[in-house]
Amino acid sequence: MDTMTALTTLSLGGALDTAIRRYRAANPISEGLQARAAEVMPGGNTRSVLFYPPFPLYMASGAGCRLRDVDGHDYLDALGEFTAGLFGHSDPVIRRAIDAALDRGLNLSSHTPGEAALAHEIRRRFPAMELLRFANSGTEANLLALAAATTHTGRRKVMVFEGAYHGGVLTFGAGSASVNVPHEFVRVAYNDLAAARDAVRRHGPELAAILVEPMLGSGGCIPGTPEFLHGLRALADECGALLVLDEVMTSRLSIGGRQALLGLAPDLTTLGKYFGGGMSIGVFGGRAELIARFDPRRADALGHAGTFNNNVLTMAAGLAGLTDVLTEPALTAVNQRGERLRERLNALFAERCVALQASGLGSLMTLHASDRPLRCAADLAGIDPRVKELIFFDLLERGIWMARRGFMALSLPFGDAQVDELVAAMADVVDARRELLPGRRS
């Protein structure tokens, strides 16, 4: 390490320490609530992604694309509940649907008309889901899709990709996740079709499924190339495995998800996040012959229980959100705003000669402290995480809320004025911290 790099590293650490001290001083009520929560929950936490040291913010309310925390600070919400908040906070159409559902009765102990209505609307958007079933989260949807695949094929191995996230028990970041379910996983580098082809040569007769995100979401918003994703379709056909597309995040990139944009036909698709209109939901579906195994009229039916699979609030909110709010023009517009935001951020970073970039597609993006090309999780190795942490705390002071890891997901109320607001705040941070940020490669 040369002298200048060493000095920058020391200065970065000091600047981050100072930013954290200011954060702590500005948010005493959040800190107190966190201490109280830690008395009954480990680390005061029941959802790992929300925690960051020294303590996470506690939000009190939200409206549109704005949040207010318990200490009275207001924020532009650029996080969008990690993609689940596509409709923003308290959309009036969805709120009326929830109120009406409450008036009819919360738990009805039976089927209700809403579940088939929502299923028909989802199939209209995703025709590859010839039959589908509901669950309570994207995690459950992926678990059930893999259950369908292993049952159909009689095999146990599943090809997955480095950096992928398919739920709390299907996580494939660095190292091994001890809470992962015990499938026999074959891990391959993302966007490396040659490596996937080699894995099929070695494991093909034992592969039940190839499970893939069309863009690594939690893994850094790294898009899969069309050649890679279509190549996986061909490899699945070659070895008799099922191609499972996890579109829990990428479903919002078009009215029919990224599979529609690419003309890609999966065997199974999983959805979640915003399809419940802000309520808990998971969806898995695909070719009729596969999902028909869950038909309870069959003597050999696969069981799929879940008290809240068809809960009335999710069915009502999801149907209202899809049919009355998330029109094709509205979805196209928010993705176009996302593209403009990412282009403007990257132009800003290039103009200021700092090695930062925003990767992603449409309304989904992640900030990275590097200007190197990103194709897989390995390309993120060696990046100093303190750069993004400092930017996170600096943006908080300027009223911008995003994930500490740099992730952003725009909501429908996030308009052009909000794009301008975020870009201006980022420019202010970059100008204030330029001497601490990595420089662009020559």
**Three-state secondary structure string covering 284-310:** EEECHHHHHHHCCCCCCCCCCCCCCCC
Label residue 441 by pLDDT band (50, 70, 90): confident
Q: What percent of the chain has pLDDT over 70?
A: 97
pLDDT at 2 over 60: no
pLDDT at 409 over 90: yes
Structure tokens belonging to residue 378 = 């390995």
CB count in 10 Å sphere of residue 152:
21
Q: Print burial letters for 363-385: b (CB count within 10 Å at least 16), e (below 16).
A: bbbbbbbbbeebbbbebbeebee
pLDDT value for 442: 62
Of 436, 398, 430, 441, the C-alpha closest to 73 is 398
Q: What percent of the chain has pLDDT over 90?
A: 95
> Among the listed ranges 46-60, 166-180, 271-285, which one has the minimum average pLDDT value?
166-180
Residue range(s) in the chain whose domain bears CATH number 3.40.640.10: 92-325
* Unique residue bearing structure tokens 């190197």: 372
Residue range(s) in the chain whose domain bears CATH number 3.90.1150.10: 3-86+327-436
pLDDT at 3 over 50: no
Mean pLDDT confidence for 340-364: 98
CATH no. of 3-86+327-436: 3.90.1150.10
Label residue 178 by pLDDT band (50, 70, 90): confident
The answer to whether 225 touches 257, Cβ cutoff 8 Å, is no
pLDDT at 72 over 60: yes
pLDDT at 266 over 50: yes
pLDDT value for 375: 98
What's this model's pTM, rounded to 2 decimal places? 0.96
Label residue 4 by pLDDT band (50, 70, 90): very low
Interval 308-326: pLDDT, tens: 999 999 999 999 999 999 9
pLDDT value for 8: 62
Averaged confidence pLDDT in the chain: 96
Interval 191-249: pLDDT, tens: 999 999 999 999 999 999 999 999 999 999 999 999 999 999 999 999 999 999 999 99
pLDDT value for 169: 97
pLDDT value for 177: 77
Distance linking the first and last C-alpha atoms of the chain: 19
Structure tokens belonging to residue 55 = 């303590």
Mean pLDDT confidence for 260-268: 98
Mean pLDDT confidence for 375-386: 96
Q: Which CATH class is domain 92-325?
A: alpha beta
Of 318, 341, 330, 392, the C-alpha closest to 84 is 318
Mean pLDDT confidence for 355-362: 98
| Paired residues of 215 in beta bridges | 223
